[in-house]
Amino acid sequence: MSIKSIYKAVFEGDASRAADLVQTALEEGLAPTDILNSGCIAAMAEVGQLFEQGEMFVPEMLIAARAMQAAMAILKPHLAEDEISSSGKVILGTVSGDLHDIGKNLVGMMMEGAGFELIDLGTDVSAATFVQAIREHGADIVGMSALLTTTMPAMTTTVEALTEAGLRDKVKVLVGGAPVTQVFADQIGADGFASDASSATRVAKNLLGTS
Ligand code: B1M
């Protein structure tokens, strides 16, 4: 069994094979983070690159994404196993108008793995839903993901809604996603930015002073 075969199964969008291979790899003692980074994430990166070059299209991207999620369902408990205990409560969602959730789910997995209590609001989450969830659950951090340049403004709207609701000083705001930058995070008054799932965990801990 090699991680390359997991990469291939995700890349080709073979969900059941991807899940089976991840299961076998784990049974054989391969490190969950190696399977994640060199198998699943690397395969999706190539999918993205080919899409950008016009050599792959939306349906194929979606099929690959589903294979990645099938692999993730097997990996998730093992990623969580490695890490330490309770660090705080995180409310996480992909912002309004945006349906991309693979990166957001990875961030959530890594957060849970690092001992955060996670409330995942899913995708296409409106500012009002973020506000309501923070009121209901009293989170330490609200994490927003955006993969489209057209949905980045929804992060601004959400930060404004938090301020209007009197919640802005009660939660730390963490933002990320492929088009999001530190400069943008600073512009909208977010507390933190992370470019990938593992740094998201580190930034979250820094924000709460628990690193
Ligand atoms: Co979409 N898509 N997509 N897509 N898609 C992108 C994002 C795109 C860059 C592709 C391209 O054109 N090159 C492009 C956006 C262009 C832009 O805005 N500038 C794009 C487009 C255009 C679209 C549609 C509009 C296509 C269409 O319909 N014509 C459409 C929009 C739908 C919508 O959201 N309303 C669409 C649809 C889809 C699918 C449904 C087919 C599928 C999503 C499936 C799913 O998520 N369940 C999909 C996919 C798979 C992609 C690409 C290929 C891969 C995204 C991904 O999962 N990457 C993507 C191309 C690319 O990224 N190169 C693309 C793997 C993932 C692990 O990385 O999500 O970046 P990422 O997450 C990383 C970091 O960004 C970070 O950590 C993660 C892990 O390391 N991170 C955070 C993410 N969130 C964070 C939050 C944090 C911190 C870090 O704190 C809270």
CA 148–ligand 1 middle distance (angstroms): 7
Band (pLDDT 50/70/90 cuts) for residue 37 is confident
Q: Which residue has its alpha carbon closest to ligand 1 atom 63?
A: 48
Q: Which residues contact 133 (CB under 8 A, 6 or more apart)?
A: 91, 93, 119, 121, 139
pTM of the model: 0.83
Q: Evaluate if residue 118 carries a pLDDT over 80.
A: yes
Q: Which residue has its alpha carbon closest to ligand 1 atom 40?
A: 62
Q: Which residue has its alpha carbon closest to ligand 1 atom 16?
A: 148
Which of 168 and 107 is assigned the larger pLDDT? Answer: 168
pLDDT, tens digit, for every residue of 144-192?
999 999 999 999 999 999 999 999 999 999 999 999 999 999 999 999 9
What is the rounded distance in angstroms from the CA atom of residue 80 to the CA atom of residue 3?
Answer: 20
